[in-house]
Every structure is written in C-alpha cells, then in structure tokens.
Amino acid sequence: MIDQEIQQLDKLKNDLIAWLAESGASLLAAVAIIALGFWLAKRLANLIIKLCDKRGLDVTLARFFAGFSKIVVIAFAVIMALSKLSIEVTPFIALLGASAFGLSLAVQGPVSNYGAGIVLIITRPFKVGDTLTLNGLTGQVDCVNLGNIQLLNEDEQRITIPNRNVLGEIFTNSYDYSIIEAVVGIDYSADPEAAIRCITEAVQTVEGVAPDRAPDVGIDNFGDSSINIGYRVWVPTNRYHRTRYAVNLAVFRALEAAQITIPFPQRDVHLIQPKTSEG
C-alpha cells in the first residue's frame, strides 16, 4: 500500500517536472504579463488623475475614469496571460456572462447601488467637498464610489450612504458652507433697528463667517416677553459648531455693550380683592 502511494507521488512529481519543462517558459511569460498589467494599470490610473487635475476636471470623474481604466488594463492582462498558457478563454467569458445574469437577480440591491452611482457620477449633482444634508445627516462629500458616497462631519465621523438612497431621496447641497439659524430676544423697550445693526456688525467680525454672503438679520416674531430677532449666517461646514458658538457669544457681547437687554420670561400677576358684604 505504501509502495503504491510512493509510486503515485513519483508519477505526480514526474508529470509536474515534465509540465514545467514543457510549459515553464509560458508560465513565466504569463506571470510577467500579469505583473506588467498591474504596473501599467497603476501608472495609467495615476496619469489620468494628473491629466484630469491639470485640466480642472471634477475629482469624482477623475477617480471614476482612473478606476475604470485600471480594471480594463488588468482584465486584458489576465486574458493575455491565460491565452499564453493555451487556456481557452471563450468558455470563461460565456460562464462569466451567465453568472453575471444569475448574480444580478440575487444581488439587486448592490446592482442598483452601482447603477445609481453611475448616474450620480455622470450627472454630478454634487462633487467632492460639497456639503450634503440627507435624511437628517449632514457632512462634506469625501468620496463618491460606484456603490456609495461617504460624508465627513466636523467630528471626523465617516457617514456611508448607499447610492440608491441618495438618488431616490431629496437632499440639500450647500456647497462649502452650512447655515446657522438662531433667535435672540430683546426687551420691548429697546430699539429693534439698533439691535439688528448691532447683531449684523457682531456676526461679521467672527472668524470663518462667509465673506461673500451677508448675514440675514431681522425681527423673527413677537414673543410674550421679548421681540425675537432672528439671524442667519453662513459658516464653513467643517467648523460649523465651533463657529456657531463664536457667533452666539459675539451677539451676546455686542448686545451687552450696546446696553440692549435680553429679558427673561415674566408674567404680570394681578391680585383682585373680592368684595365682602357687611352683614
């Protein structure tokens, strides 16, 4: 029994040596073709990104073109390597097509993400660096992939959203900035026009506020104890909360310096003494 196994191992070894002697050169050539294909694919992808950057093309499209070109070059290299080993590639292509059809029925979710990704890349409703607000989530677009987009917020949290949820939903694109909306109340005895001027000047002194967008300041509503002044200011998304805190502090200090009172809620209580009848 052991002798038979030894003979089988010797036969297998001899067959392997014979195959290597006969096809060793083809095998080395196939490995060299694949290695060269990966090298060319990487160089081509870097070249496309540089050309797109030089021509000012959108980063999303540049990455898409680079990635697609890399996949095509590697696929051709694999096909050439298989043909070098005298392996017929036609059955593999047919099998790949049949498998892709069956797989598409089983993975409709990912396929729909890829389809939506292609639409987003072609139509470009937003680009890398824009600020998106979608389903209550806000962040700057960090990358747009075929399957998903990724947002980064001020806390450096990465938010991944499937592309089909982006294409089929209503979203807001505020580009590089987000808007601060706040309300501060002033006493009814104060001059609202003076308060509006004071707040406008205060928010414009805060570092980071958009220089090309004038803040909107005006009477928001009339409260029970105060005239409520609303202000809307555009600030960088990646410093939203930091700038919001600075804006609110600047508004408070400016009103304090102008001696404009911020009242607290109060109620007037009237005591009515009931009349008593004398007996």
**Judgement on whether residues 207 and 183 belong to the same structural domain of the protein:** yes
Percent of the chain with pLDDT over 90: 20
Provide the 3-class DSSP secondary structure of residue 153.
Answer: coil
**Judgement on whether residues 100 and 130 belong to the same structural domain of the protein:** no
- Residue 85: what are its φ and ψ, rounded to 5°? -85, 10
Confidence band of 208 (pLDDT split at 50, 70, 90): confident
Question: How many domains does the chain contain in total?
Answer: 3
Q: Which two tokens stand for residue 57?
A: 């093309």
Q: Give me the DSSP letters along 143-185.
A: EE-SSEEEEE-TT--EEEEEHHHHHTS--EEEETEEEEEEEEE
- Residue where one domain finishes, among candidates 159, 174, 189: 174
**Judgement on whether residues 154 and 181 belong to the same structural domain of the protein:** no
* Mean pLDDT in residue range 156-168: 86
Whether residue 183 is contained in a domain is answered as yes
Q: Which two tokens stand for residue 23?
A: 């096809």
Whether residue 2 is contained in a domain is answered as no
Whether residue 88 is contained in a domain is answered as yes
**Judgement on whether residues 83 and 148 belong to the same structural domain of the protein:** no
Confidence band of 115 (pLDDT split at 50, 70, 90): confident
Q: Which two tokens stand for residue 76?
A: 């051709």
C-alpha span between 92 and 245 (Å, rounded): 62
Whether residue 278 is contained in a domain is answered as no
Confidence band of 278 (pLDDT split at 50, 70, 90): low
Q: What is the CATH number of the domain that holds 194?
A: 3.30.70.100
Whether residue 200 is contained in a domain is answered as yes
Tell me the residue range of the domain where 142 lies: 125-174
C-alpha span between 81 and 44 (Å, rounded): 19
**Judgement on whether residues 232 and 187 belong to the same structural domain of the protein:** yes
**Judgement on whether residues 49 and 81 belong to the same structural domain of the protein:** yes
**Judgement on whether residues 157 and 212 belong to the same structural domain of the protein:** no
Higher pLDDT, 118 or 98: 118
Predicted confidence at residue 183, as pLDDT, reads 93
Q: What is the CATH number of the domain that holds 53?
A: 1.10.287.1260
**Judgement on whether residues 88 and 146 belong to the same structural domain of the protein:** no
Whether residue 215 is contained in a domain is answered as yes
Residue 195 has pLDDT above 80, yes or no: yes
Question: Tokens 């200011």 appear where?
Answer: 233
C-alpha span between 195 and 252 (Å, rounded): 11
Provide the 3-class DSSP secondary structure of residue 136.
Answer: coil
Whether residue 227 is contained in a domain is answered as yes
* Mean pLDDT in residue range 130-139: 86
Confidence band of 65 (pLDDT split at 50, 70, 90): confident
Q: Which amino acid, residue 79?
A: I
* Mean pLDDT in residue range 70-79: 82
Percent of the chain with pLDDT over 70: 77
**Judgement on whether residues 49 and 88 belong to the same structural domain of the protein:** yes
Length of the chain: 279
**Judgement on whether residues 15 and 101 belong to the same structural domain of the protein:** yes
